[in-house]
Chains A and B, each alone.
Chain A
Amino acid sequence: MIQSVTVVRALVRRALNEILRVPGAAIPGVLAPTIFMLGLSSVFGKASSLPGFTADDFRTFIVPVGLLQGAGFTGAATGVNLARDIEQGWFDRLLLCPAPRVTLLSGVVASAALRALLPGIFLLAVAFSLGVAVPTLVALVIVTVLVMGLACAMACFSVTLALKFRTQQAAPLMQIAGFIGVLFTASYAPKPLLADWLRAVATVNPVTYILDGVRQGFVGGVTWADTWPALLSTVGLIGVLGTLAARGLRRYGV
Chain B
Amino acid sequence: MTDRGFSLRVVVALARRAMLGSLRRPQFLAPLVLFPSMFLAVNTGGLGRTTGLPGFPKVDGFLDFQLAGAMTQSLLLGGVATGIATALEIEGGFFDRLVASPISRSAIVLGRLAATGATAVLQVTYFLVLGFLFGATVKGGIPGVLVVYLIGTVAAVGFGAIGQALALRAQSAASVQGIFPLVLVVLFVSSAFFPRDLLSSPSDVIATYNPLSYIAEGMRTPIIEGVGATSVLEGLAAAVVVVVAAGGVALLALRGRLREA
Tell me, rounded to whole Å, the shortest Cβ–Cβ distance linking B95 to chain A.
Answer: 16
Partner of B178, one of A24, A40, A194: A24
Question: Which residue on B lies nearest to A41, using beta carbons?
Answer: B200
- Mark out the residues of chain A between 33 and 52 whose CB falls within 8 Å of any chain B CB in the assembled complex: 35-36, 38-47, 49-50
Q: Which residue of A has the minimal Cβ distance to B34?
A: A176
When the two chains form their complex, are residues A50 and B34 in contact, meaning their CB atoms are under 8 A apart?
A: no
Chain B: number of interface residues, binned into ranges: 35 or more
Residues 23-35 of chain B, each 1 if its beta carbon lies under 8 Å from chain A, else 0: 0010110111011
Across-interface contacts of B45 in A (CB, < 8 A): 194-195, 197-198
Quick check: is A171 within 8 A (CB to CB) of the other chain?
yes
CB proximity of A37 to chain B, nearest CB, Å: 10
Inter-chain CA distance A10–B182, complex, in Å, is 31
* Min distance, Cβ A68 to any Cβ of chain B, angstroms: 14
Residue pair B42, A188 in contact (C-beta under 8 Å): yes
Residues of A within 8 A of B (CB-CB), count = 48
A180: Cβ under 8 A from any B Cβ? yes
What's the Cα separation between A105 and B175 when bound, in Å? 24
Q: Which residues of B have CB within 8 Å of A187? A: 42, 46
Contact A189 B47, CB 8 Å, known A25-B174, A45-B200, A168-B173: yes
Complex CA distance for A170 and B25, rounded to whole angstroms: 10
B209 within 8 A of A: no
- What residue of chain B has the Cβ atom nearest to residue A175's Cβ? B180
Chain B interface (Cβ within 8 Å of chain A)? 25, 27-28, 30-32, 34-35, 38-39, 41-50, 52-53, 77, 81, 84, 88, 170, 172-175, 177-182, 184-185, 187-189, 193-194, 198-203
Report the separation of the CA atoms of residues A172 and B47 in the bound assembly, to the nearest whole angstrom.
25
State the Cβ distance, B167 to closest chain A Cβ, in Å. 13
How many angstroms between the C-alpha atoms of A113 and B206 in the bound complex? 35
Residues 128-172 (chain A) with a chain B CB within 8 angstroms: 165, 168-172
Beyond A32-B181, A195-B46, is A43–B174 a contact (Cβ under 8 Å)? Answer: no
Q: Check B42–A184 contact: CB distance below 8 A.
A: yes
Q: Are B203 and A172 in contact (CB under 8 A)?
A: no
Residues of A within 8 A of B50 (CB): 44, 46-47, 50
Pair B35/A176 contact, Cβ less than 8 Å: yes
Say whether A35 contacts B31, CB under 8 Å.
no
Q: A32-B184, A176-B31 are in contact. Are A50 and B177 (CB under 8 A)?
A: no
Is A209 part of the contact surface with B, judged by Cβ < 8 Å?
A: no
Q: A35-B188, A44-B50, A169-B88 are in contact. Are A179 and B174 (CB under 8 A)?
A: no
Q: Which residues of B contact A32 (CB under 8 A)?
A: 181-182, 184
Question: Which residues from chain A contact B43 at a C-beta distance below 8 Å?
Answer: 188
Check A43/B35 contact, CB under 8 A, given A25-B175, A183-B42. no
Residue pair A35, B46 in contact (C-beta under 8 Å): no
Which residues of A lie under 8 Å from residue B200 when comparing CB positions?
41-43, 45-46
A223 to chain B, nearest CB (A): 24
Least distance between A246 CB and chain B CB atoms (Å): 23
> How distant is the Cα of A50 from the Cα of B181 in the complex, in angstroms?
29
List 5 contacting pairs A-B, 8 Å CB cutoff, sorted by A.
A31-B182, A42-B200, A47-B50, A171-B84, A188-B42
B181: chain A residues at CB < 8 Å are 28-29, 31-32, 35-36, 73
Least distance between B18 CB and chain A CB atoms (Å): 13
Complex A-B, nearest 10 residue pairs according to Cβ-Cβ distance, in ascending order? A39-B188, A32-B181, A198-B45, A172-B31, A188-B46, A42-B203, A195-B45, A45-B200, A28-B178, A183-B42
A42-B202 CB under 8 A given contacts A25-B174, A170-B28, A189-B46 = yes
Residues of A near B185 (CB, < 8 A) are: 35, 39
Q: With A43-B193, A44-B194, A188-B42 in contact, is A171–B177 under 8 Å at CB? A: yes
Q: A188-B42, A198-B45 are in contact. Are A35 and B178 (CB under 8 A)?
A: no
Query: When the two chains form their complex, are residues B180 and A179 in contact, meaning their CB atoms are under 8 A apart?
Result: no
Write out, one digit per residue, whether chain A residues 59-99 have a CB within 8 A of any chain B CB (1) or not (0). 00000000000000100000011001000000000000000
